[in-house]
């Protein structure tokens, strides 16, 4: 099962939404809720990033991770300078699950109309289509968000209820993915399908096989995925072989604290691509020397693709150091 080391090193340096707000000296709340503020944040951030680094990461529509869940009545709070958060779970009992709405037009309810309006506004201001961000959490993370941490005991105490909830949320994921495709003019099936499911790694490998794999397969198959990707931050090495059970093409562990490059090289099924990272915290608080060592060691251990996230407060010297280290091994793109 041991993979070959990647012969080519590719690095994507990705500026986060908080970095854009920081450069523009505006609040994240404004970014998420005010389309005019969102455009001004983009304009100022791109100009200042260009002045500092000579790069243009492009227009970034703020990503509201929980957008699809607002169709189920989930309420979201927007702190001035923090990420949006769910106010409270909406499924306290099996009766609450039965009472959740059957969503027919996900774009017409909850946060979706405002997000579509912002996207169209940003496209108009930029003069071309920009990426449409419609948050669509995959089933287990969505279950924890609408049920709370009790979902993690439901899989022991009431697995039938857990499966019913996961099935409901799988339907919502598929409906939302198809709706997004319709807005941007893509066919309802085919192409690349990606999921983000950080909390899935809290399930043991046997539970992962029961409560995760079938729903992932249902999503990928329902959407006719030609290319299957997954972002999940809490998997352990023991989970990695099961990524083949849903024919994954690419895995992004992002900040997964339980995986190492050696785990990825030794346990990842053959044929599944993956990327590594330089920890965001280190990009902010490290030194140019420590970041160069971290990058070089990851390459030596077998990493080939890197995603480096730049967050606020932006440490320009460290960002330059990562870019320099990356260029010493291969290609760099900025997003």
What string of pLDDT tens digits covers the 335 residues of the chain? 444 444 479 999 999 999 999 999 999 999 999 999 999 999 999 999 999 999 999 999 999 999 999 999 999 999 988 899 999 999 999 999 999 998 989 999 999 999 999 999 999 999 999 999 889 999 999 999 999 999 999 999 999 999 999 999 999 999 999 999 999 999 999 999 999 999 999 999 999 999 999 999 999 999 999 999 999 999 999 999 999 999 999 999 999 999 999 999 999 999 999 999 999 999 999 999 999 999 999 999 999 999 999 999 999 999 999 999 999 999 999 99
pLDDT of 104 reads 86
Radius of gyration of the chain (CA): 20
Per-residue pLDDT, 260? 97
Residue the block writes with tokens 């799988």: 170
Its pTM stands at 0.94
Centroid of chain to Cα 307: 12
How many residues would you count in the chain? 335
Q: What is the pLDDT of residue 5?
A: 46
β-pairing, 273-278 with 250-252?
parallel
Q: Which stretches within the chain are classed as H helix?
A: 17-24, 28-33, 35-53, 94-99, 112-126, 139-147, 151-157, 159-184, 205-211, 213-222, 261-267, 280-285, 288-301, 316-327
Contact 262, 283 (CB under 8 A): no
In the structure encoding, which two tokens stand for residue 176, read together?
């939302």
pLDDT value for 212 = 98
pLDDT of residue 334: 97
Backbone angles phi, psi at 138, to 5 degrees: -70, 170
- How far apart CA 103 and CA 231 sit, in angstroms, is 25
The beta-carbon contacts of 192-195 under 8 Å, at least 24 apart in sequence, are 192/225, 192/226, 192/227, 192/228, 192/229, 193/219, 193/220, 193/223, 193/225, 193/227, 193/228, 193/229, 194/228, 194/229, 194/230, 194/231, 195/138, 195/219, 195/229, 195/230, 195/231
Predicted confidence at residue 4, as pLDDT, reads 42
The domains found in the chain, sorted by start residue, are 24-258 (3.20.20.210)
Q: What is the pLDDT of residue 57?
A: 97
pLDDT for 327 = 95
In this prediction, residue 335 carries a pLDDT of: 96
194-236 tens-digit pLDDT = 999 999 999 999 999 999 999 999 999 999 999 999 999 999 9
**CA–CA gap between residue 65 and residue 151 (Å, rounded):** 19
The position carrying tokens 């990272």 is 277
pLDDT at 81: 86
Tell me the C-alpha distance between 103 and 175, whole Å: 8
DSSP 44-107: HHHHHHHHHHS----------TTGGGGGGT--EE--TTS--EESS-S-SSHHHHHHS---S-GG
Indicate the Cα dihedral angle 93, 97, 101, 107, nearest 10°: 110
**Residue 269 gets which letter from DSSP?**
P
Burial-class residue 325 by CB neighbours within 10 Å (0-12, 13-18, 19+): buried
- Rounded CA-CA distance 193/230 in Å is 9
Q: Is the dihedral of CA 63, 141, 267, 221 positive or negative?
A: negative
Residue-level pLDDT at 332: 96
């Amino acid at each position: 099962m041991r993979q070959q080391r990647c012969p080519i090193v590719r690095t994507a340096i990705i500026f986060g939404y908080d970095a854009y707000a920081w450069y523009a000296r505006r609040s994240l709340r404004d970014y998420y809720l005010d389309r005019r503020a969102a455009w001004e944040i983009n304009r100022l951030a791109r100009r200042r990033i260009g002045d500092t680094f000579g790069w243009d990461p492009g227009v970034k529509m703020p990503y509201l991770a929980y957008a699809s869940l607002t169709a189920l009545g989930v309420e979201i709070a927007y702190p001035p300078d923090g990420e949006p958060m769910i106010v409270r779970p909406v499924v306290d009992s099996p009766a609450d699950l039965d009472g959740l709405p059957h969503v027919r037009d996900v774009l017409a309810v909850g946060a979706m109309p405002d997000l579509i309006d912002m996207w169209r506004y940003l496209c108009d201001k930029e003069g071309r289509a920009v990426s449409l961000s419609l948050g669509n959490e995959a089933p287990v993370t969505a279950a924890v968000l609408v049920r709370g941490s009790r979902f993690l005991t439901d899989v022991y105490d009431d697995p039938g209820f857990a499966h019913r909830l996961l099935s409901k949320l799988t339907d919502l994921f598929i409906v939302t993915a198809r709706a997004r495709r319709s807005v941007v003019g893509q066919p309802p099936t085919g192409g690349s399908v990606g999921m983000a499911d950080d909390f899935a790694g809290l399930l043991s490998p046997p539970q992962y096989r029961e409560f995760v794999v079938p729903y992932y397969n249902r999503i990928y198959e329902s959407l006719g995925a030609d290319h299957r990707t997954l972002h999940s931050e809490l998997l352990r090495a023991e989970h990695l072989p099961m990524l083949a059970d849903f024919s994954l093409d690419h895995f992004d562990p992002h900040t997964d604290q339980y995986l190492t490059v050696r785990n990825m090289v030794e346990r990842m099924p053959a044929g599944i691509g993956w990327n590594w990272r330089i920890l965001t915290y280190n990009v902010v608080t490290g030194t140019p020397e420590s970041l160069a060592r971290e990058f070089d060691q990851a390459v030596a251990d077998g990493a080939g693709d890197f995603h480096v996230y730049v967050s606020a407060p932006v440490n320009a010297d460290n960002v330059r150091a990562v870019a320099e280290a990356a260029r010493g091994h291969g290609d760099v793109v900025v997003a």
